[in-house]
Amino acid sequence: MDTHQLLDERAGIVRSFNRFYTRQIGVLHEHLLESRFSLTEVRILYELAHRPLLTSSDLCRELGLNAGYVSRVLKGFETQGLITRSPSPSDRRAAQLQLTDLGRATYMPLDEASQSEVVAMLKRLSEPEQQQLIDAMNQIKSLLSEADSNYVLRDPQPGDMGWIVHRQAVLYAQEYGWSSEYEALIAEIAAKFLRDFDPRAERCWIAERNGRVVGSVFVVKENETTAKLRLLYVDPSARGLGIGGRLVDECLKFARQVGYEKMVLWTNSVLTGARRIYERAGFELIDEAPHHSFGKDLIGQVWSREL
């Protein structure tokens, strides 16, 4: 299947999901939540209820709506006594919008009805299913939103090691065609870290963004003076945010603090993104050799830097 055919197939899947979900939340009805308002009108009321003193231009920009359409909706709201307008102190040509008491009294039952409908939908699911749904929605939001550079680094929690093995095995199979031999290697590294963990000399960091794990790295003990960096990973959805470089920096900082004199790592030449991160962090290539692993002919590399 060529790229065009693949995109067409995936577009069909997205459209199928959109049809399914719009039916689930009832937006196909002429009026939303059995009210006299359309979905867009309720969304505009929502924005005015939660962000006072917006202008018509603000609404157009935030919601991606046509200026003429927004103007007609606002005129209707004004005629019904739901909103008032006042001159903007920063631009006399613009008017700030605010819900009246009647506007708030009209909106609140709609908000409560929407909340009740979603709660009823969630109640049909078990607790694990609810969390699975929320995680999937967060992932969709993250993938389709503009890049958000906010993330946190934390210590590993139960289940994180399984996630690391799963995600890295999937990623390297998809991007490089590596076999399950690589998954076995990752599993062995993670299991050894858990079994033999020395908190004085070893560490793992998990990168989390919008409640979702998007990266990880390990520092393990090679010998008394040498630390080894292992399994640097950044999820494709979080690339370009500097997470990989930050993870490597944390490894170097920790290694210095606990008294290591040198840090080494093993990688493969095909992993160009990771190699750029190592070079920027001051690592130097000290050895390389061809090998056949993970179902591929590769060039393994050893990188090192003094601390």
Q: What is the mean predicted confidence (pLDDT) over 45-51?
A: 86
Whichever domain contains 7, its CATH number is: 1.10.10.10
Residues 22 and 137 in one domain: yes
pLDDT tens-digit series, residues 239-298: 888 899 999 999 999 999 999 999 999 999 999 999 999 999 999 999 999 999 999 999
Of the ranges 64-68, 153-157, 277-281, which one carries the lowest mean pLDDT score? 64-68
Tell me what pLDDT residue 145 has. Answer: 67
Average pLDDT over residues 202-215: 90
Confidence of residue 207 (pLDDT cuts 50, 70, 90): very high
Instruction: With CA atoms as reference, report the closest residue to 201 among 233, 223, 216, 231.
Output: 223
Q: Is the pLDDT of residue 28 over 50?
A: no
Check whether residue 108 and residue 217 sit in a common domain. Answer: no
Write down the residue that tokens 């080894």 correspond to: 228
Give the mean model confidence (pLDDT) for residues 89-115.
85
**107, 185: one domain:** no
Which of 265, 270, 225, 224 lies closest to 247, judged by CA?
265
pLDDT above 70 for 221: yes
Q: Which two tokens stand for residue 197?
A: 């963990």
Look at residues 117, 144, 171 and tell me which one is the last residue of a structural domain: 144
What average pLDDT score do residues 160-167 get?
Answer: 94
- Weakest mean pLDDT among 42-51, 129-138, 204-213, 227-236: 129-138
Same domain, 227 and 110: no
Query: Could you tell me which residues come within 8 angstroms of residue 203 by beta carbon, excluding any fewer than 6 positions away?
Result: 218, 219, 251, 254
Looking up residue 208, the CATH number of its domain turns out to be 3.40.630.30
Task: Provide the number of structural domains found in the chain.
Answer: 2
* Residue 42 confidence (pLDDT) above 90: no
For residue 31, name the pLDDT band (cuts at 50, 70, 90). Answer: low
With a CB cutoff of 8 Å and minimum separation 6, the contacts of 133 are 122, 125
pLDDT at residue 25, rounded to an integer? 65
Q: State phi, psi for 290 to the nearest 5 degrees.
A: -70, 150
Q: What distance in Å separates the CA atoms of residue 293 and residue 230, rounded to the nearest whole number?
A: 17
Domain check: are 161 and 296 in the same one?
yes
If asked whether residues 156 and 301 sit together in one domain, one would say yes
Q: Examine the domain organization and report whether 12 and 93 are in the same domain.
A: yes
**What is the average pLDDT across 104-109?**
90
pLDDT tens sequence across 117-153: 888 888 888 888 888 888 788 777 766 765 556 788 9
Asked if pLDDT for residue 80 goes beyond 50, the answer is yes
Residue range(s) defining the domain that contains residue 124: 3-144
**pLDDT greater at residue 55 or residue 177:** 177
Boundary of a domain, candidates 108, 123, 144: 144
> Is there a single domain that holds both residue 132 and residue 24?
yes
**CA–CA distance, 96 with 86 (Å, rounded to integer):** 5
Same domain, 140 and 165: no
d(CA 53, CA 95): 8
Q: How confident is the model over 7-24, as a mean pLDDT?
A: 79
Q: What gap in Å lies between CA 85 and CA 93, rounded to an integer? A: 12
Q: Which of 37-41, 52-56, 98-102, 225-229 has the highest mean pLDDT?
A: 225-229
> Is it the case that residue 165 has pLDDT exceeding 50?
yes
Whether residue 286 sits in one domain with residue 172 = yes
Q: Are 190 and 299 within one domain?
A: yes
| pLDDT at position 29 over 80 | no
pTM (predicted TM-score): 0.58
Domain boundary, last residue among 144, 170, 204 = 144
pLDDT-based confidence at 79, cuts 50/70/90?
A: very high
- Please provide the average confidence, as pLDDT, over all residues in the chain: 87
109 and 74 in a single domain? The answer is yes
